[in-house]
Structure 1
């Protein structure tokens, strides 16, 4: 169940939120995850809160959930929040900025709100055990990498095939190529093992929780196949917002994803959302030119 998405969608009829009140809106159950959705109006501000109960999932060995919750009304996004749930019970609360505020009349009104969430479970202990199995001594493994206090037995030919970085350090022309144990600095064992696990025969596939770290690692160690695996996931299975996808595609040279994310910007409203996003400032000049071309096509 490590990559099985836990999803839920509920269309709540018209919501009337009264002044200085706490109201229960809905309780959902999905694949062992319980969620209680509430709302309150305090001092002129409207809040949504979600109380997540992970006890049943914890009993299955799941360490946490990474994903997104969203609420929209009349095709307008009221909330879209990415969260990481780690505890047995967690309460997430956010302010909702309503387009029509009736607080002066003692209430706020939201027409037909759609509430959704999507989470991917993760297993921290299982990952550690899996990683350790990957780097045991064997006839195929003929080199030792050292990260902190961990020794990783790896295959020179396999890593050299996938990465010019490893091809270089295993070369006799580099000092590392003459060493019996090669230190890899400024990286954690978990992140390094996560990267290699995507290309090893018993592959662990990327998800939204690991995508950005995998891109960072694949770029640093020049392993294009890692970036390709992440791009496939982001093209077909992601719940990450389009603005961030656009930046990730631009930053790590994922051309197919960049084309798709720019095409998804199919309205002036979405263009304004992109411009106000912190990810917009990080885009390259070339990407911004492509976005401009897309905007001209919308006019």
Structure 2
């Protein structure tokens, strides 16, 4: 009888409340789901995630449902799930090696939307006084730092700063010799225009890398130099280094890795760019799979 009542409640939920979010609750150390104070999943689960889809975990068993609690994937269908707050997307790695990406509108097919954008929607040149930029330019063996719309006194000595370069053919993390970072700023007050802190800054789009990293070359090998801290980040031992804005593709001896996500030592024969939280790889012995942004591997089964 209890099972019949439970199924009827699920049917009512699907029919009348398909688009409304469910509420988690805890009882005796276990988690369940409610809808309008009615239990739709009993409190028997160790974990329930409700971002985009419903992911339940009980002992070693995980299942994935849509917001109507219709079963999409059983525990035997997939090997990993990951929610990205940055892109507001839930990604699922299936055991056959394929990946499904879900938004609140359904399956995402256009992965170009998962590429982080550096350009802000409003240029500091056309906006209020609380917007500005820092520009770094590589020229004549040095890096010049310029501030725009930051200091009230244009003669201030901080307007132009130069840094030395370690190596040659240097480029910034945008793979160019000029990098502009826009931001909104905080001030002490109307009587003092000196900057005491940044508000939003495009620097966060490069995290966990830092905008003062440059890719440069010594002999035939590439490395990464922090021009503000004046220290090596990666030694000059790589055949090629390409920036993907917030991670670096390192090539050495015909193998690849992503820094800092996977590590400094290349180990994959093939390594595709990250799609959200996962990148497709192939090892030298032909094994294929996905690796996440923390370096955890999920091999095809």
Q: Which has the higher helix share?
A: 1
Say which one has the larger Rg.
Answer: 2
Higher fraction of strand: 2
TM (norm. structure 1) is 0.26
Which of the pair has the greater relative contact order for Cα pairs under 8 Å at 6+ separation? 1
